Amino acid sequence: MSLKDVEKFLEKFWFLFWRDDSLKGWIFSIIFLFIFIKFIFFPALSLLTGTSLPLAIVESCSMYHEGNLLSSFDKWKNSNSEKYSEFQLTGEDFENFTLKKGFNKGDILFIVGTKPEKIHIGDVIIFNAGTNNPIIHRVINVENIDGKISFSTIGDNNEGQLSIEKNISPDRIVGKASLRLMPYIGWIKLVFFEFQRSPSERGFCE
């Protein structure tokens, strides 16, 4: 194939992908974007971040703080101090924690792979728990017994720990949440699955 043939192919491709407003053009653009995101973008992002799930959609209210983006950290800290006293954690400890204001259902989080020894109390991790989807909660305890590390978590908005949040082994950890990348955008996907949830789990966090 000559350089001229390549140029003609690229011109036709660009027209069909970007400028063609016909049904054929729209279908081609959607298929191309799907292939690009699934087979090029996500594999490349996984390679760069060191995790199989570099972007995670928050599917529950277990890490929600009242007021969301405008939430008062001091108000949340005061109302939850008793819950964390059981784990010897204080409001002052939370001042230095990652994502200390929590996050909301529908938020998209940026996840990075990490070594077990680099996970600390206060970090937010995503881990496999034998459920349909991984859980995203905050680490409240790290144990190292005879060189074997394990973690315990709890949801900022949960009253207590789930049994599956205790003694989490490193092989169950998918990665660590580093930032809230896109608030609410995950609802574009979640809205199609809300009807499958129990009534108490549907809708926005309050």
Residues 131 and 43 in one domain: no
What's the farthest any 2 CA atoms get from each other in the chain? 73
- Collapsed DSSP state (helix, strand, coil) of residue 51: coil
Residues 58 and 138 in one domain: yes
- Residue 157: which pLDDT band, with cuts at 50, 70 and 90? very high
Q: Residue 24: inside a domain, yes or no?
A: yes
Residues 102 and 170 in one domain: yes
Q: Give the pLDDT confidence score for residue 92 in this predicted structure.
A: 85
Q: Residue 145: inside a domain, yes or no?
A: yes
Residues 61 and 163 in one domain: yes
- Distance in angstroms (rounded) separating the CA atoms of residues 88 and 205: 28
Total domains in the fold of the chain: 2
* Residues 11-48: tens digit of each pLDDT: 777 767 777 788 887 888 888 888 988 899 999 999 99
Residues 133 and 172 in one domain: yes
C-alpha distances in angstroms, 90 versus 97, 101, 140? 11, 15, 11
- Distance in angstroms (rounded) separating the CA atoms of residues 30 and 38: 12
* Mean predicted confidence (pLDDT) in 91-116: 93
* Mean predicted confidence (pLDDT) in 154-166: 93
Q: What count of other Cβ atoms lies within 10 Å of the Cβ of residue 74? A: 9
Structural domain that includes position 61:
50-201
- Collapsed DSSP state (helix, strand, coil) of residue 17: helix
C-alpha distances in angstroms, 31 versus 28, 34, 164? 5, 5, 39
- Collapsed DSSP state (helix, strand, coil) of residue 146: coil
Say which residue, 199 or 3, is predicted with more confidence: 199
CATH number at residue 138: 2.10.109.10
If you search the block for the tokens 């140029």, which residue do you land on? 7
Residues 69 and 122 in one domain: yes
Q: Residue 206: inside a domain, yes or no?
A: no
Residues 55 and 41 in one domain: no
- Residue 183: which pLDDT band, with cuts at 50, 70 and 90? very high
Does residue 63 contact residue 157 with C-beta atoms inside 8 Å?
yes
Give the end-to-end CA distance of the chain in Å, rounded to a whole number.
60
